[in-house]
């Protein structure tokens, strides 16, 4: 399900160049090592192009994935985590602690602590800001007997999801909150 938005990714690279940026040593304008972010406004200054066309964009990649019996949690994190641990290392770290009964908030804190450099004199890994969100998909307080037919947890995977269904397949929201939704602008269509 993972897709890292890095400047070296072909689609991201092309957008950065088209917006007037350059990539040096895998970094936007030689500085930022990711190509999608909240903030980083220095890379979003062109007024003649839309927000999703900027060198760095906050425009999300949306995917749909059918949950399976073995799916336990969803882990979202920023490059401060992913530059230190591989996808699988982070999934293993989180899964082991959730299965042992540790609260998701404590698991998030432990993950950040594990990725933190012991000092700041190194190569920069472990010195970046860190954000982690763990969304638990199953109840870890109930243990599954060893003889159960439950599916094993999925491994960290890249790009194996299917595109989301058409928005027309979802029910239309109604009521006062929906009126506010309909007043906003629609995201650009690909």
Domain endpoint, select from 10, 32, 64: 64
State phi, psi for 134 to the nearest 5 degrees.
-115, 120
80 shares its domain with 115: yes
Alpha-helix residue ranges (DSSP H) falling in 6-77: 10-18
Its domain, for residue 125, covers 73-136
54 shares its domain with 87: no
Question: Residue 78 in contact with residue 58, Cβ under 8 Å?
Answer: no
pLDDT at 131 exceeding the cut of 90: no
53 shares its domain with 85: no
Q: State how far the Cα of 75 lies from the Cα of 108, in Å rounded to an integer.
A: 9
Domain endpoint, select from 37, 64, 91: 64
Least confident segment among 80-89, 90-99, 132-141: 132-141
In a domain, 113, yes or no: yes
Q: Which helix (H) or strand (E) holds 133?
A: strand 132-136
The string of pLDDT tens digits covering residues 146-173 is 434 444 555 555 544 444 444 444 444 4
pTM of the model: 0.64
């Amino acid at each position: 399900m993972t897709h890292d938005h890095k400047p070296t990714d072909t689609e991201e690279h092309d957008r950065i160049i088209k917006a007037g940026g350059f990539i040096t040593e895998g970094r936007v304008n030689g500085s930022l090592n990711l190509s999608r972010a909240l903030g980083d406004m220095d890379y979003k200054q062109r007024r003649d192009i839309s927000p999703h066309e900027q060198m760095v964009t906050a425009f999300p990649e949306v995917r749909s994935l059918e949950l399976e019996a073995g799916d336990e949690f969803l882990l979202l994190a920023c490059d401060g985590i992913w530059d230190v641990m591989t996808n699988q290392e982070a999934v293993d770290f989180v899964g082991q602690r959730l299965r042992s009964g540790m609260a998701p908030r404590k698991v998030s804190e432990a993950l950040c602590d594990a990725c933190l450099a012991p000092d700041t004199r190194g190569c920069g890994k472990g010195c970046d800001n860190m954000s982690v969100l763990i969304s638990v998909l199953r109840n870890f307080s109930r243990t599954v007997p060893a003889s159960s037919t439950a599916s094993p947890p999925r491994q960290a995977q890249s790009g194996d999801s299917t595109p989301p269904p058409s928005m027309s397949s979802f029910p239309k929201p109604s009521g006062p909150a929906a009126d506010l939704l309909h007043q906003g602008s629609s995201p650009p269509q690909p």
